[in-house]
Amino acid sequence: MRFPAELRYTDTHEWLRQEGDGTVSVGITWHAQDRLGDLVYVENPPRGKILKRGEECGVVESVKAASDIYAPISGEVVSVNEELSSSPEKINQQPYEAWMFRLKPSDPAELPALLDAAGYERLVEAEPH
């Protein structure tokens, strides 16, 4: 398992990457996609939606289960990865490249409160298998 050090993580298995333009890309972790199995459907929040941290904002479905996606931080959805509607398997193939949506953060102070790679690794290791 790998947890890129430049990303931040949530305890609900989303990852965040700060982009050069001030937005934040959001996706699901390798661990999340591995537990779900082959993804068959991705539902992203609509562009322009204002999200509050912890709010349900999307869904990923696999052949085994469906899982809600939660907003890792508060902000406005400025972009969604349209490619995932026809190719959800891209998340299985490259979970840290296949971002789901991008947010313009409304409270940048929420970012440091998220888990770093070491903290996320400890969380995953503590989960029952």
Per-residue pLDDT for the chain (129 aa), expressed as one digit of tens each?
A: 589 999 999 999 999 999 999 999 999 999 999 999 999 999 999 999 999 999 999 999 999 899 999 999 999 999 999 999 999 999 999 999 999 999 999 998 999 999 999 999 999 999 886
Q: Which amino acid is at 80?
A: V
**58 Cβ partners below 8 Å, 6+ apart?**
42, 43, 44, 45, 68, 69, 100, 101
pTM: 0.94
List the domains of the chain with CATH numbers: 8-108 (2.40.50.100)
